[in-house]
Structure 1
Amino acid sequence: METSEIRRRFLQYFEDRGHTVVPSAPLPASDPNLLFVPAGMVPFVPYFVGQQTPPFPRATSVQKCVRTLDIEEVGKTTRHGTFFQMNGNFSFGDYFKDQAVQYAWDLVTKPQSEGGYGFDESVLYASVYYEDDEAIDIWKRVAGLPDDRIVRLGMKDNFWSMGVPGPCGPCSEILIDRGPEFGAERDWEAGDRYLEFWNLVFMQNIRGEGPGKEGYPILGELPKKNIDTGLGLERVAYLLQGVDNMYEIDEVYPVIEKASELSGRKYGADPIDDVRFRVVADHVRSALMIIGDGVTPGNEQRGYVLRRLLRRAVRSMRLLGYEDPSLVELLPTSLEQMKKSYPELEADFGRISQIAYAEEEAFRRTLTAGTSIFDLAVKNVQSQGAAQLAGAQAFQLHDTYGFPIDLTVEMAAEQGLRVDTEGFKTLMTEQRERAKADARAKKAGHADTSGYRELREKGVTEFTGYQELSTDSQVRGLLRDGVVASAAEQGETVEVVLEKTPFYAESGGQIADEGLIVADGAKLQVLDVQRPVKGLIVHKVKVLEGVVQPGLDVHAQVDHEWRVSACQAHSGTHVIHAALRQVLGPNALQSGSYNKPGYLRLDFAWSSALDQATRSEIEEVANLAVRQDLPVSAQYMTLPEAREWGALALFGETYDEQVRVVEIGGPWSRELCGGTHVKHSSQVGALTVTSESSVGAGVRRLEAFVGMEALHHLGKERALVRLLSESLKARPEELPARIADLSERLRAAEKELEKVRAGQVLAAAAELASKPKDVFGVAYVGHRAPDGVNGGDLRKLALDVRGRMPADRPAVVAVLSVNDGKPAVVVALNDTAREWGLKAGDLVRIAAEQLGGRGGGKDDVAQGGGTDAAGVDGALAAVEHAIGQSVTG
């Protein structure tokens, strides 16, 4: 049975039994403490903990999940993977244990011809929490399981909680006996023979403070008992498909087959290669799904995880012996399997593949540059007689060149060296701690959201800003440093929650509103507005006058000019996006945006820079849309209706079932958006694109000014053109030709100057060659050339001097120069000097050490440099001393 069919049957079974089918949430988690959704129940947490009222009594979903803690273990075992799918059915105070067990057992054992999975009942077992006699009775009654096929396990294995105070409860799992070839009879700990594939959580208790897994106190029972189940889709797939593990199921194994075809190596022939094949298969599929949900490669958080996955896949293919670009072959193979369950991947594959292929190309360049640095580091270690590459060098390769540590370890082992992995780990830990401290310092808010949740329990904040810019309201609560406060006085900066507000909270790329909140005797300046938890709008304010406290009646007033300009910028972003797609095609999809009054930037999927003609065309299409005075409207509908209607969603955003669709000119621009907008496109005003640049592999960024800011920008450019016209005595239309002519003349003059300077340098060759210094029989020329001589001319000088010296006597030439504050050195030897045992590479390294740098080359000529210009004289003396030591031995 194909994985997509297993998925379909699950959803159909529970939909037929009154469950609302809930689409998978995007992989990027909305919880600020998570990078990705790690479990099927995560999107339903607000319902389980009572933060929100569930819109349905029972639900079912197949949730996309990513777990990243064990990336290094992927492939080494057949149990570890990054992307997986969790089937779940959920009850919010509706049915409980008895019904949950009945549903699970029925679906698992019902014949496949009747829509079930058809598992043989004789090999199925149930595990229960050891004190849960109720569950044992249910398994006996519903499934007819005898005592010897029901196993009691402790809190660590069969009692669920989120690891913090809150809902918890006993679990019950369905296990399958895979046979004696997978382990000993009744060995419940090994996890291979008695494989758990469906976990039923009976959420009925409240836990207190304590360790995450066991040993915490149970404080009592929940007022409403809930059901949360998780069926591992990949596990069921390999059980029903008769294969041994998740890497061999229909959604994964074709990538291994393709990798085997490309590399010429066979899966199953070599354990080391098998690890690499599994890494490729897992990471390619994971990257496909993560990019599909809007993440792009980067150096932080989700982007960094994605970058690691892509680079580990590419690296593994290279270690399998395939040197050519591989994702162009592997990613479409994964798409063919995954589109059966996620058809949106095929529609979006142009964008997905563009990002992935660009990242591989960037990594291939990185490998080339990083390998050169690695080779140099290895030579230095070997020249010192050491056997270990320092942790700092491994960290530099990782941090600067993107080398995974295991790649560095493997390459070092090929050279007979170890790597100080402990030192590397220490530096990585320090970097992570700095990153965490930086994240805490940013505006993302407090990691502890308990204060916000306490105020959220009093009700949602009503947003009135679509209809009005001022609202009479009341203070619902205050927070100081994330903690609920009773009052705030003049001069303090605190957070204020109102019952309703016209202030737009920053989201969807639109910056928050500014304005005032006033009351009798009090005035608050609104500095920022955020939504730290769903349904709650929080105003960061400075108390300008008086005292503010809960219950105070207030008047909230958004700054009118600020909002008008913000609307121009946000609608302008939609216009630019539509213009992009019109000019470049449907693959130029927005992957992020930011707009504030007068300014917008838009990131979009594209692999190459836009030329000036294309930029001008995009700008013209956008301004024509503004001139056409297109109507702007917003409508509410369900998410499936919006998708069917062709509305574009911002990747990575999480949407409710009811979404807001903003149209500009009907289907020309139709996007899911919660932001504020103008009423007609003409109100956007002028749009002028100011820059276009790269912000990552396969992602470009457009920046533009809007409205009055655009006119101000154009005015400055006009003034600049006028100034240049006056200075160059040319009309504006003649400026490009005049500037090109001046540039050409300047380049010609620089070339002539270079020739003169080179001639002067080389003119000294004859005199230098005629007056060498005798160093124990070696003719030595040590010369400091004038400052500004480049490396090429320095090399010419050294070779010219060497060529003028007698061939029958050993000769060494060392010449140095300082260019832009950085010294460079070239050492050249004739054949006789090399017969005496001298080597240019050794001598140039000695000189470069005095210059605070490094060098290398062949035995007859070598070049180096450094950063310490004060060491030039010492470098020449060091070369002379080394010659003497070498020949006197």
Structure 2
Amino acid sequence: MKTSEIRSRFIDFFAKHDHVDVPSASLLYNDPTLLFVNAGMVPFKPYFLGDEPAPYARAVSAQKCVRTLDIDEVGKTTRHGTFFQMLGNFSFGDYFKEGAIRFAWDLVTGKEQDGGLGFDPEKVWVTALYGDQETIDLWLKVGIPRERIQERGLKDNYWHMGVPGPGGPCSEIYIDRGPEFGADGGPEADEDRFLEIWNLVFQQEELSAVRAKDDFDVLRPLPHKNIDTGAGLERIALLKQGVANMYEIDEVYPVIAKAAELSGRRYGDDPTDDVRFRVVADHVRSSLMLMTDGVTPGNEARGYVLRRLLRRVIRAMRLLGVNDPVLLELLPVSRDLMRVSYPDIDANWPRVAEAAEAEEKSFRRTLQSGTVMFDTAVDAAKGEHATTLSGDKAFQLHDTYGFPIDLTMEMAAEQGLTVDRAQFDALMKEQKERARADAKAKKGGAASLEAYRELREAGEVPFLGYTDLDVNTTVRGIVADGAAVDRALDGTTVEIVLRETPFYAESGGQDADRGVIVGDGFNLNVIDVQRPVPGLVVHRVEVLGELPLGATVDARVDAAARHGASQAHTATHIVHAALRELVGPTATQAGSYNKPGYMRFDFSATHGLSEALKAEIEGRSNEAIAANYAVSAQEMPLEEAKALGAMAMFGEKYPPLVRMVELAGPWSRELCGGTHVGTTAEIGMLNLLSESSIGSGVRRVEALVAGDAFSKFAAERALVTALTDTLRVQPDQVVGRVERLIGQLKDAEKQIAKLNAEKLLAGSAQLVQQAVDVNGVRYLGVATPGVGGGELRTLAMDLRDRLGSEPAVVALVGGADKPAALVATNAAARDLGLKAGQLISLASAALGGKGGGKDDLAQGGGTDASAAPQAIAAVRSALETRG
């Protein structure tokens, strides 16, 4: 039974029992406590927590998940993977234990020809929380004998989210794989033989404090009991397909086969190689799914996880003997396997392939850079007659260059060295503990939403601002310092909730509206508008007078500011469409921000835009503005909007009914709740200010719109006028004239540098007299401002030769526009282990830069010319402390 068929059977079974089929959320779900969706229940958290009323009583989903805590263990065990798919059925105050158990039993043991999964009822074992007799009785009722029902403690059979919120006992379903997989005796005896496939969670309590998995405080029973289940699709697949582990199922194993083909090695021949094959299979699929959902390789958060996965693939293939590029050989295999269940992979493939290719090229360059550091560490170890490379060096290679430990160990073995793995592991553990502590602090730092939830339970706040900027309404709630109050006093800043509102709450990159709310005896200045929980609009206001709860008010949006924000927001859609038209469909949105007069737009790209392309994008955007396209918005079902090609933001959660904003038909269709102008001509004009990188694989364009754009153009025109007057040329001659002046200036600077160098060379004999003995080495460190390039190199070599055959080191710091440094060593100094390439790194670091080169001559530079004395002193300090 194929994995995709198991997925369909699960969804079809529950759909027939009145469950709404909820599509998988993006892996980049908008939850500040999570990097990625890590469980099937995550998209339903607002309903379990009571932040939002559930739009359905029953639901079923097949949710994409990624867990990253045990990346280093992937491939070593056969039960864990980075990416996996969680099947689940959910009840929100509808059926409870009996329904969940009956559904699960009927699906697990139902005959295949009837749509069931066809497991032998005699092979099914279950667990329950100690003392949960109700659950035990219900399993007995469906036909499981008591000896195949095991009771376990809180660590195994009680579920919560790790923070205050819903919790409850759970019951797990296991399948006996047979004696060849381990000892008899149920899950308590062996969880490799008895493989868990499904966990039924009976949410019935609200927890007030959570200290550990089995240490928490129960505040009260939940007002509505809920069901939350999770069945591992990959685990069910390995059982139904009769394979040994999840890496050998139909959606994963072909990647192993391709890796074996590329490497010329066979899966199953060598346990060490098998781990590498499994790492490749897991990480290729995980990377594909992450990139499909909009993640690009980077150095922070989600991007760093993806980068690590991709680099572990490259490393594993290298250890399997493949040094050629591999990602675009392996990823298409996974694409063809996963597209059956996730058709959006095809639409995003060009961007995925581009990002993967760029990352592989980057890592290959990184390997070259890291190898220099590795070689230096090896030389130092051998110089001390050591047989072990220190763990801190291995950790530095890992942390700075992304070198996996086993790659370092392999390279060290080639040099006849071992690695202090214990020290490396200790440093890694410290880093992980710091990361966990930071994550825990972040997780527990969220402000209480209790006051907002209570206000939300009273009903949704309708947003009338698409059509009305002045609304007569009443004050439904007042929140001060996180608590509901019945009045706000003069001079205070509070949050208020209105019965309905014309004020736009910050979202979708658009700034919140500003304005005033006035009533009898008070005036409220609106300084911010947010949606702390979906459906609830909260206005942060400064109070003048005294505001009572229930007061009648007139809510007035600042019309000019709203129009400015609408102009900028519509311009953002135009720039997005222009980028996709001129750069290509891979230029998908990665973020945006707009306010009156200004917009910025982040998009996926591995390369910057040329000046010509930036001008073309600006021109195309202004063409669209001048074309006076009608800007229309209409509500429709989410799937219908997607079918029309509407662009959606990765990670955003969209309701079943969405708002699609359209400009010029299919040219620009986006899901958007923001405010917009009626026609594009209302924007006036757009001035593209800049384009830059804000992280690996993500670029940003910034632009001014409307009056701000005109003012910028006017200022630039005034600047050109001033230049034409000063240079006495026509406007079209300014660039040529400035270029000639710059050329003349550079020629003059070169001539001055040459003269300075000649002057210094002429005085070399006197400079040599400044050399001092430092720990048995003649050291000459000189600042030579204005001298750079070849002249600095010639001077250093001349001074080194003049210092004779005794150990000698010369360090010069010069440069014109930016500081430049050069270090030269003679043969006698190099015999003492003094290498110019290592010494220049110290000097360059003092200058705020980097350097490198050979043992006899090396050069570098930096940004801080005033640090020349420190750079010279840094080289001297190295000589003083040499062993």
TM-score by length of 2: 0.88
- C-alpha change, 1:155 and 1:422, in structure 2 (3 Å) is closer
Letter in 2 for 1:664: L
Is the deviation greater in 33-42 or in 426-435? Answer: 426-435
- Answer yes or no: is 1:829 the counterpart of 2:826: yes
Q: Provide the C-alpha distance between the structure 1 equivalents of 2:278 and 2:697, rounded to a whole number of angstroms.
A: 26
Q: Provide the C-alpha distance between the structure 1 equivalents of 2:220 and 2:765, rounded to a whole number of angstroms.
A: 97
- Answer yes or no: is 1:26 the counterpart of 2:19: no
- C-alpha change, 1:223 and 1:540, in structure 2 (3 Å) is closer
- 1:678 aligned residue: 677
1:61, CA displacement in angstroms?
Answer: 1.0
1:127, CA displacement in angstroms?
Answer: 2.4
- 2:811 aligned residue: 816
- Answer yes or no: is 1:604 the counterpart of 2:603: yes
1:427, CA displacement in angstroms?
Answer: 5.9
- 1:450 aligned residue: 450
1:615, CA displacement in angstroms?
Answer: 1.8
Matching of residues 402-551 of structure 1 within 5 Å:
402-403=402-403, 415-418=417-420, 419=423, 421-423=425-427, 425-426=429-430, 446-543=446-543, 545-551=544-550
Is the deviation greater in 492-501 or in 796-805? Answer: 796-805
- 2:138 aligned residue: 138
Aligned length: 868
8 A contact 1:311–1:360 mirrored in 2: yes
Q: Provide the C-alpha distance between the structure 1 equivalents of 2:199 and 2:844, rounded to a whole number of angstroms.
A: 66
- C-alpha change, 1:557 and 1:435, in structure 2 (3 Å) is farther
- 2:720 aligned residue: 721
Matching of residues 202-221 of structure 1 within 5 Å:
202-206=202-206, 209=209, 211-214=211-214, 216=216
1:645, CA displacement in angstroms?
Answer: 1.7
1:245, CA displacement in angstroms?
Answer: 1.3
- C-alpha change, 1:548 and 1:412, in structure 2 (3 Å) is farther
Is the deviation greater in 466-475 or in 218-227? Answer: 218-227
Query: What secondary structure does 1:334 align onto?
Result: helix
RMSD of the alignment, in Å? Answer: 3.8
Matching of residues 650-729 of structure 1 within 5 Å:
650-729=649-728
Is the deviation greater in 121-130 or in 184-193? Answer: 121-130
Is the deviation greater in 711-720 or in 731-740? Answer: 731-740
Q: Provide the C-alpha distance between the structure 1 equivalents of 2:59 and 2:75, rounded to a whole number of angstroms.
A: 34
1:171, CA displacement in angstroms?
Answer: 2.6
1:595, CA displacement in angstroms?
Answer: 1.1
Query: What secondary structure does 1:815 align onto?
Result: strand
Q: Provide the C-alpha distance between the structure 1 equivalents of 2:531 and 2:13, rounded to a whole number of angstroms.
A: 37
8 A contact 2:812–2:823 mirrored in 1: no
Matching of residues 64-143 of structure 1 within 5 Å:
64-142=64-142
1:6, CA displacement in angstroms?
Answer: 1.0
Query: What secondary structure does 1:475 align onto?
Result: strand
Q: Deviations over 1:209-255 (max 9, x none)?
A: 45553355667655544332221100001111111111111112222
Q: Provide the C-alpha distance between the structure 1 equivalents of 2:621 and 2:202, rounded to a whole number of angstroms.
A: 56
8 A contact 2:28–2:37 mirrored in 1: yes
Letter in 2 for 1:797: L
- Answer yes or no: is 1:175 the counterpart of 2:170: no
Q: Provide the C-alpha distance between the structure 2 equivalents of 1:91 and 1:779, rounded to a whole number of angstroms.
A: 80
- 1:747 aligned residue: 746
8 A contact 1:844–1:862 mirrored in 2: yes
Query: What secondary structure does 1:321 align onto?
Result: coil
- Answer yes or no: is 1:869 the counterpart of 2:864: no
- 1:227 aligned residue: 227
Letter in 1 for 2:76: K
Q: Provide the C-alpha distance between the structure 1 equivalents of 2:299 and 2:466, rounded to a whole number of angstroms.
A: 37
Q: Provide the C-alpha distance between the structure 2 equivalents of 1:705 and 1:255, rounded to a whole number of angstroms.
A: 48
Matching of residues 192-591 of structure 1 within 5 Å:
192-206=192-206, 209=209, 211-214=211-214, 216=216, 222-376=222-376, 379=379, 400-403=400-403, 415-418=417-420, 419=423, 421-423=425-427, 425-426=429-430, 446-543=446-543, 545-591=544-590
Letter in 1 for 2:812: S
Letter in 2 for 1:652: G
8 A contact 1:388–1:420 mirrored in 2: no
Q: Deviations over 1:28-82 (max 9, x none)?
A: 2333222222211222233334443333232211111122222232222222222
- C-alpha change, 1:488 and 1:269, in structure 2 (3 Å) is farther
Q: Provide the C-alpha distance between the structure 2 equivalents of 1:34 and 1:263, rounded to a whole number of angstroms.
A: 37
8 A contact 1:570–1:676 mirrored in 2: yes
- C-alpha change, 1:861 and 1:27, in structure 2 (3 Å) is closer
8 A contact 2:756–2:786 mirrored in 1: no
Q: Deviations over 1:705-756 (max 9, x none)?
A: 1111110111111111111111221111112222222233333333333433
8 A contact 1:451–1:479 mirrored in 2: yes
Q: Deviations over 1:755-795 (max 9, x none)?
A: 333333444457889x999999x997957474444475444
Q: Provide the C-alpha distance between the structure 1 equivalents of 2:756 and 2:464, rounded to a whole number of angstroms.
A: 73
8 A contact 1:840–1:858 mirrored in 2: no
8 A contact 1:445–1:532 mirrored in 2: no
Q: Provide the C-alpha distance between the structure 2 equivalents of 1:301 and 1:873, rounded to a whole number of angstroms.
A: 39
Q: Deviations over 1:656-682 (max 9, x none)?
A: 111111111222211111110111111
1:157, CA displacement in angstroms?
Answer: 2.3
Give identity over the alignment, percent.
53
8 A contact 2:394–2:419 mirrored in 1: no
Letter in 2 for 1:82: T
- C-alpha change, 1:789 and 1:409, in structure 2 (3 Å) is farther
Letter in 1 for 2:794: K
8 A contact 2:781–2:872 mirrored in 1: no
Query: What secondary structure does 1:654 align onto?
Result: coil
Q: Provide the C-alpha distance between the structure 2 equivalents of 1:485 and 1:83, rounded to a whole number of angstroms.
A: 46
- C-alpha change, 1:385 and 1:484, in structure 2 (3 Å) is farther
1:350, CA displacement in angstroms?
Answer: 1.3
- 2:794 aligned residue: 796
Q: Provide the C-alpha distance between the structure 1 equivalents of 2:271 and 2:608, rounded to a whole number of angstroms.
A: 43
8 A contact 1:851–1:872 mirrored in 2: no
Q: Provide the C-alpha distance between the structure 2 equivalents of 1:218 and 1:781, rounded to a whole number of angstroms.
A: 73
Q: Provide the C-alpha distance between the structure 2 equivalents of 1:107 and 1:673, rounded to a whole number of angstroms.
A: 40
Is the deviation greater in 145-154 or in 333-342? Answer: 145-154
Q: Deviations over 1:159-199 (max 9, x none)?
A: 33344555444333321111112221114233111111122
Q: Provide the C-alpha distance between the structure 2 equivalents of 1:265 and 1:162, rounded to a whole number of angstroms.
A: 43
Unmatched 5+ residue regions in structure 1? Answer: none
8 A contact 1:802–1:812 mirrored in 2: no
8 A contact 1:358–1:697 mirrored in 2: no
Is the deviation greater in 280-289 or in 710-719? Answer: 280-289
Letter in 2 for 1:796: T
8 A contact 2:821–2:840 mirrored in 1: no
Q: Provide the C-alpha distance between the structure 2 equivalents of 1:203 and 1:550, rounded to a whole number of angstroms.
A: 36
- 2:648 aligned residue: 649
- C-alpha change, 1:351 and 1:877, in structure 2 (3 Å) is closer
TM-score by length of 1: 0.88
- C-alpha change, 1:162 and 1:864, in structure 2 (3 Å) is closer
Q: Provide the C-alpha distance between the structure 2 equivalents of 1:874 and 1:220, rounded to a whole number of angstroms.
A: 65
- C-alpha change, 1:258 and 1:470, in structure 2 (3 Å) is same
Q: Provide the C-alpha distance between the structure 2 equivalents of 1:445 and 1:467, rounded to a whole number of angstroms.
A: 38
- 1:61 aligned residue: 61
Matching of residues 129-168 of structure 1 within 5 Å:
129-142=129-142, 144-164=143-163, 166-168=165-167
Is the deviation greater in 843-852 or in 177-186? Answer: 843-852
Letter in 2 for 1:753: I
Q: Provide the C-alpha distance between the structure 2 equivalents of 1:129 and 1:779, rounded to a whole number of angstroms.
A: 75
Query: What secondary structure does 1:738 align onto?
Result: helix
- C-alpha change, 1:585 and 1:454, in structure 2 (3 Å) is same
Query: What secondary structure does 2:834 align onto?
Result: helix
Query: What secondary structure does 2:214 align onto?
Result: coil
- C-alpha change, 1:462 and 1:407, in structure 2 (3 Å) is farther
Letter in 1 for 2:810: V
